[in-house]
Amino acid sequence: MTKGVMKMLGASVTALALMSLTAMTQDKAAPPPATDTPAPAPAAAGPVPVEAFALLPEFESPALSPDGTRIAAKRALNGKQFLMVAPLVKDHGKPALAALSDKVDVNWWRWVNDEWLVVGLGSQDVIQGEEYYVTRLIGIRADMTKMVRIDWENSGFRADEVLWTAHDGTPRILFAKQTGIYNMSDVYPSVYEADVSTGRVKRIASGQTDVWDWYADGQGQLRMGVRYSDETRQKSILYRQTNAESFRTIARANGRKDESVLIPSIFRADGTALAIDDSDGYDALYEVTLPDLKLGRKLSSVAGYDIDGVIRNADGNDIAAIRYTDQRYHDAWTDPRIKELQDLIDKAVTPRRAEITSWDKARDRFLVEVGGPSQAGALYYWDIAYGNMQFLTWNNPQLRGRRLSPVRSVTYTARDGTKIESVLTLPRGRSDKNLPLIVLPHGGPFARDSESWDWWTQYLAELGYAVIQPNYRGSSGYGTDFARKGEGEWGLKMQDDLNDAVTYLAKEGIADPKRVCMVGASYGGYAAMRAAQRDGALYRCAISYAGVSDLQAMKRYDSRFLFSKTRADWLHKQAPDYRAVSPRFGAADMTIPLLIVHGKEDKRVPVNQSRMMVAALKAAGKPVNYIEQPLADHHFTRGEDRLEFLKAMAAFLAKYNPA
% of the chain with per-residue pLDDT over 70: 92
The CA distance from 492 to 485, in Å, is 11
Residue 379 has pLDDT above 90, yes or no: yes
Give the architecture (CATH level 2) of 407-656.
Answer: 3-Layer(aba) Sandwich (3.40)
Contact 377, 397 (CB under 8 A): no
Confidence of residue 382 (pLDDT cuts 50, 70, 90): very high
Amino acid identity, residue 165? T
Sign of CA dihedral 440, 442, 445, 447: negative
Amino acid identity, residue 46? G
Q: What is the pTM of this model?
A: 0.91
The CA distance from 103 to 94, in Å, is 27
Q: Measured in whole angstroms, how far is the alpha carbon of residue 533 from the centre of its chain? A: 30
The CA distance from 595 to 622, in Å, is 12
Q: Which CATH class is domain 3-39+64-329?
A: mainly beta
For the stretch 213-239, what's the b/e string if a residue is b when 16 or more beta carbons lie within 10 angstroms of its beta carbon? ebbbbbbbbbbbbbbbebeebbbbbbb
Contact 436, 465 (CB under 8 A): yes
The CA distance from 181 to 158, in Å, is 10
Residue 557 has pLDDT above 90, yes or no: no
Per-residue pLDDT tens for 46-76?
A: 789 999 999 999 999 999 999 999 999 998 8
Radius of gyration of the chain (CA): 25
Mean pLDDT of 491-498: 97
Least confidently predicted of 88-97, 100-109, 180-189: 88-97
The residues of the chain that CATH labels 2.130.10 are 3-39+64-329
CA dihedral 415, 417, 418, 423 (to 10 degrees): 60
Per-residue pLDDT tens for 143-198?
A: 989 999 999 999 999 999 999 999 999 999 999 999 988 777 789 999 999 999 99
Query: What does the pLDDT read at residue 3?
Result: 46
Nearest-CA neighbor of 37 among 355, 357, 370?
370
Q: 240 vs 244, 528, 604, CA distance in Å?
A: 9, 49, 36
Mean pLDDT of 547-562: 87
Residue 134 has pLDDT above 80, yes or no: yes
Amino acid identity, residue 448? R
Confidence of residue 540 (pLDDT cuts 50, 70, 90): very high
Query: What does the pLDDT read at residue 36?
Result: 36
Residue 35 has pLDDT above 60, yes or no: no
Per-residue pLDDT tens for 249-286?
A: 999 999 888 888 999 999 999 999 999 999 999 999 99
Query: What does the pLDDT read at residue 44?
Result: 54
Query: What does the pLDDT read at residue 99?
Result: 65
Contact 442, 450 (CB under 8 A): no
Query: What does the pLDDT read at residue 559?
Result: 77
Mean pLDDT of the chain: 90
The CA distance from 405 to 153, in Å, is 52
Confidence of residue 41 (pLDDT cuts 50, 70, 90): low
Query: What does the pLDDT read at residue 100?
Result: 63
Mark residue 474 as left, alpha or beta (left: phi above 0; alpha: psi -120 to 50; beta: remaining).
left
Residue 14 has pLDDT above 50, yes or no: no
Residue 400 has pLDDT above 70, yes or no: yes
Q: What are the phi and psi torsion angles at 232 (to 5°)?
A: -100, -15
Query: What does the pLDDT read at residue 170?
Result: 97
Per-residue pLDDT tens for 315-326?
A: 999 999 999 999
How do strand 329-333 and strand 319-325 relate by DSSP bridges? antiparallel
Mean pLDDT of 448-468: 97
- Which distant-in-sequence residues (6+ apart) come within 8 Å of 171 by Cβ? 112, 113, 115, 116, 139, 195, 196, 197
The residues of the chain that CATH labels 3.40.50.1820 are 407-656
